[in-house]
Structure 1
Amino acid sequence: MNSVPSDPFIGRTLDERYLVRSRIARGGMAMVYLGNDLRLQRRVAIKVMHQHLVEDENFTRRFEREARSAAMLGHANVVGVFDQGADGGVPYLVMEYLPGITLRELLKQQRRLTVDQTLEIGEAVLSGLAAAHAAGLVHRDVKPENVLLADDGRIKIGDFGLARAVSANTTTGQALLGTIAYLSPELVTRGIADERSDVYAFGIMTFEMLTGRQPFRGEQAMQIAYQHAHSDVPAPSSLAPETPPELDEFVRWCAERDPSLRPLDAAQALEALRAIRNGGGPGDTRILPRTGAIGTTTPSTTVLSGAEQGALQASTAPSAERPSSAPATAVDRARRAGARRARRGGWLAAALVVLIALAGGVGWWWGQGPGSQVTVPDVAGEELDAATLTLEELSLTVETDKCSSLEVEKGRAVGTEPAAGSRVDRESTVTLCRSTGPAKLDVPTLNGLPLEEAQRAIEEARFRVGEVVEERFDGGERGTVILALGSNGKGLGETYSEQGRIDLIVSAGSVPDVAGQTVEAATESLEAVGLSVDADANVEEHHGEVPEGSVIAMVDPGRELRVGDGVGVRISLGPELFEIPDVAELPLQEAIDTLEQAGFSPSSGVLETFRDFARATGTEPAAGERVPAGTEVVVRARVSLDF
């Protein structure tokens, strides 16, 4: 299996100071790595912009703005930014490293949080936002993914990539930014954001912490945006009954559709939240009727008597509204102050807001909404879930398909169709290709082919030519393929992975016959075909036909020979000689029997009729001489009738 392409930043030292160790997370705009500051000897988080976004000046400016925005805060509840730079033209930020999890991960683990958890996290987030607002910055991307919960208990808000300085009409510029589930109505309809937009996003996030779900959901981003602009956020207690009334009221106050009815900024919201957490929160939890739609002013909100309130609620408020009989609270007073500010514009302002909202809605649809276009990111080599999330964050619909790949590990993303870098409409479908590893291809017949022809067949079948790992003396035609092997050293089946390496075993032909050659000539013959004659493996033996000093044959190795093997030869000592025994004075027949038993061929001139009357007197050759077995030995004898 081929490995995933290595991350070009892992192991790199940025600006000779920051050593990149491993990946921590991936976002829509950047990859975050764990690294070491070699100068200060501390661990840091290094945020590197995605390569496909580097050419986009808008993203580059946002990335650089994050460094300036976060660096100027220096607050205990804001992730610190230490440094900023670029490596190979790719911008990066060096940030405070906080081992732990995000609020989103905590919500996945617990589904929803307790009231105490919500209050603790909410107070920390508002503290960080209050510092940003005091510095004249709007975060514009408040969501659980950007709230970091460190292992040591610290809670910080990060990712100021969308932050901008507040002006009289802070807008998104050419594009609407942020996550749609947390965008305020004014951002959706007019592209305008100020501190109250962050407060709205915080209210939505608090609702999610208490209930485990977002208040507005839909299959398409436009559906969610429409609900932000035209629907009120319900009370969290409608889904989480344990939510106290004062926290219900606080969430709905923060998430008012009309920004003039919300807290002025995070500092005002923080003051109210702390009062709730410390037990000094509002005792009255009623919610006044909401008659003003988005972009319109709200009628007078003067304090009504109990009877008037009851009549008004009976005629206008939903049945789920809470009864109201207690005196006005701090939240109510803040709401009424906002309503008084809203009335100043009158109906003319309302008409203008409606027109602006319509124009803003059209502009948003074609500028950044479902009608706009986005750049398809490069997700090759990523885990399939991570690649899917990256595409879905750009409002793209993802379908998966299978395809083979030589470079990408099985199960990971190979690429997309349309390809990375393409511009496509939001909500359009992008096919994400899941790697099945290298393709399985049919293996051609290689056995019996000449080596060069077999190598061509391997390449034409889209495999890799390996090595000739062995030349074997099999008696076949020299240079032809005997066997093809896979990367595991075993024979191939019917199919094999594309570009898989194929090694070959080829024939070395036959071992030459060296019988009757001198040792020197036999050595030359064997070495000419790739064998090595080892003198220590040579043996000497008698042979009746091969002259002394000549080679009888090669020593049988007891195995199939391969080129490079060492062998020995059998060298003849000539025929073996035996000593002729002394048979003189033995009865002739006994002498003949003795010589036969010694391996010789005895003969005598005495007729068999007289052998019983004869004695041996000697032999020719004479006794004691050494001659080959089977040599004829003539027995001399004398005949005596005295026997």
Structure 2
Amino acid sequence: MATVTTDPLLGRLVDGRYEIVARIARGGMATVYRATDRRLDREVALKIMHPHLADGVEGASFVSRFRREARAAARLTHPGVVAVYDQGLDGETSYLTMEYVPGTNLRRELRSSGTLTLGRTLDVLAQVLAALAAAHRKGLVHRDVKPENVLITADGAHVKVADFGLARAVTEVTSTATGTILGTVAYLAPEVITTGGCDARTDVYAVGILAYEMLTGALPYAGETPIQVAFHHVHDDVPAPSGEVPWLPAEVDELVAAFTARDPGRRPADAAAALDSLERVRAGLDPDLLDRRADLPATAGAVDADSPAGDAGDDSPEADGIDSDRLDAIPAAFFQEVSAPDERTEMLVEESTTRVPGRPAADRTHSPAAPPRRRRRRRALAWTLTLLLLVAGGAAGTWWWFADGPGAWTRVPDGVVAVPLEDARDVLAAAELGSTVTRSHHDEVPAGTVIESRPAPGDPVRTDGQVHLVVSRGIRTIPVPDGLVGATHQDATAALRAAGFEVGEPSPQHHDTVPEGEVMAVSVPEGSVQPHTTVVTLTVSDGPAPVTVPQQVGKPKDDAVADLESVGLKVELAEPEHSLDVAEGHVLRQDPEAGAQAHRTDTVTLTLSAGPPIVAVPDVVGMRTGAARAALEEAGFEVEENKYLGGLLDTVRFQDTTGEAPQGSTVTLTIW
């Protein structure tokens, strides 16, 4: 009967904020869950470290290192890097909150397809190196590059690298406590195995192993124990991929060889230099080769992500039956043995070679003496042999002196570094030394100038040898993307970072017509080629500028419209309204009112006065003066009187306005 295992963390609320929804993967370092951030209402990936890492004497040290590495990773922002949002401690549980990337990882893609096409391999490598380059520029080293940490989005077009620097916290604690080095040995560089040293070139080595695996469907040293694999990394060069896939061009072999050189000094200095090498190789390849894929090998050598993995993110929970805490743990004593020279010398001869084997030395004194003639012959033969041996020894010594001894070596002369290439070649030619050249970008050394020599000046080199010169290409330049102006600030920033630029703080600027958040200008021309160190600044619209609405009530229409338009406001006229207080054609009312805050291009509505309303004029002819005045004033008119004969009869005989008239106008009465 099948056994169903229920994860006790499913449904749990971590730190009062992250609700665990489902388990994504489990590895030797942590278990990864899909969770919902209740505070921000978004999906996240929640990485919960295994409790045993925080146990014991080294537990506090681990928690401290874990937090430090998480903070360092959180400062790294790049489209190809899985973002770190938060880290914390909930009781005894150390956790990390990361960007949730729906899709798969490179391990699963290799399992499903066996190998990748050459073009797909180069695309994945380029995106991985671009992400690593962003980290290396900030002094961060990944330390655990492997297919499980290369995430692929659901559309398959984009690659994101996860778990920057987190292996360091685990390795430092575990190696101190147990005397072992942890990690996926298949991808470890020789210097990590022999000395524990780690820098940007260590990541480049792991990328080279990834390249071999994607092209051939197997690891260089598959199916062996971790110690055997480590031994191969230290003592053997990684075989050329074309040994398994004959149609691969020599340029691809050379690229993998450069990435996986056992001497870190012979590898690209960092991921940016490695990416530059990869781009040059791809540009020179036959396009027809890019769609070719190697046949799946009969015995695939891909590492099972659930067995010798050093971290979570390995594979789906279906593999949880395997002990996922198994790591490639190699005793530290092994590394010391690998790195130390063998000081044991077997003594092959301990006694005189004149002794007859199996016979005591004293027995020789009792041997019968040889006849005199035979002794003379033996002496002559001995002298002849001695002379021949001396001549042969002198010749051999002379040959050794000039072939392998001090006479076969000279020293690299000074004056071959920090000078133009032609000058360095002249110096070497004068010393009867040849030269080979590779070119590499350098932020400070001018193009055409020698950055370094291998061996370095003063170091020994064979008299008929060659000195390898690394010549600067000048600072690495990259094209500025097109279409930045008119894009949103977020999209333009993402495009620049994907191209390899650092983006500075945006420069906000008010604009009447460009929508808020849209890019108006770029500090460097679009489509131009700029040094990779250029910090690009975007001028981003902040929308129309704010203004205070001025007072317009009582002003003539034309004056009010001109006043509002002068501060950038638009004017809309409402239907006029009658008013007894405001003259016709003047502003009766405005919306918004005076003193309100608005923005340029906002609309102010003006209601103009239509003057007094037109009303009926009462007919007061024949009425007594008092009654007539009262009737007119009640209708809203002003009254004036013209009296004849002193208004003897007090009767209105005539009124100058009849019918209808504007309310408030004056009606003159004639009285006698």
Higher Rg: 1
TM-score clears 0.5: no
Q: TM-score under structure 2 normalisation?
A: 0.42
Q: Which has the higher contact order (CA 8 A, sep 6+)?
A: 2
Q: TM-score under structure 1 normalisation?
A: 0.43
